[in-house]
Chains A and B, each alone.
Chain A
Amino acid sequence: GAGVSQSPRYKVAKRGQDVALRCDPISGHVSLFWYQQALGQGPEFLTYFQNEAQLDKSGLPSDRFFAERPEGSVSTLKIQRTQQEDSAVYLCASSETGPSLNTEAFFGQGTRLTVV
């Protein structure tokens, strides 16, 4: 596709429910990032993939959060037993190579998760 695509755009989950958020990066992009953005805040790093390898998951707030990118393209962020503090916009970004190799990141529109 022409850009990074995320689905769903909006998700309302009941507390305790599991959710799965999908990210389709730009075709051929090596790096993929997940960020969590609370209202009025900057994107907070969650995790980073280079191809299928998850190189950094230090930003995942708890073991309820899990991300995968099994074939090095589409990625899924899964949140188990959602809690109200998980409510945020989840942003996915991809870049052609790693950021230290000086390529810009392209963001998807995000998934707005509301836990009620």
Chain B
Amino acid sequence: GQQVMQIPQYQHVQEGEDFTTYCNSSTTLSNIQWYKQRPGGHPVFLIQLVKSGEVKKQKRLTFQFGEAKKNSSLHITATQTTDVGTYFCAGGFNNNDMRFGAGTRLTVKP
């Protein structure tokens, strides 16, 4: 079926440490999107990757899309307390569906 797996479920880091979350699909994705959800809020779009092997950066955030378009990662360099939240990947499938991973909840200790 169309599923996107995401790990880890939780990540607790000291402020200044790096953080990475990974997503994987058993089938080829048309694209992958990343969202951030703050506690009590709704998912907010961060970025979209479309091309095989694509890498995009937003300040301290680096997003990668695998060569086979089946996996993706989000890496945050030198985390800050403002990075706290749950990060979700969402895989776009050729039938126009979009499925979310379970999310990685990031907590940052100052």
Question: Shortest beta-carbon distance, B76 to chain A, in Å?
Answer: 19
Instruction: Tell which of B98, B101, B103 touches A105, judged by Cβ atoms closer than 8 Å.
Output: B98
Question: Shortest beta-carbon distance, A51 to chain B, in Å?
Answer: 12
In chain B, positions 66-110 with a C-beta closer than 8 Å to chain A are 86, 88, 90, 92-103, 105
Instruction: Tell which of A41, A56, A107 touches B42, judged by Cβ atoms closer than 8 Å.
Output: A107
**Chain B: number of interface residues, binned into ranges:** 20 to 34
What are 27 A-B pairs at a CB distance below 8 A?
Answer: A31-B96, A33-B98, A40-B105, A42-B86, A42-B88, A42-B101, A42-B103, A43-B88, A45-B98, A48-B96, A55-B95, A56-B95, A91-B42, A98-B96, A99-B31, A99-B90, A99-B92, A99-B98, A100-B30, A100-B31, A100-B92, A100-B95, A100-B96, A104-B33, A104-B45, A107-B42, A108-B42
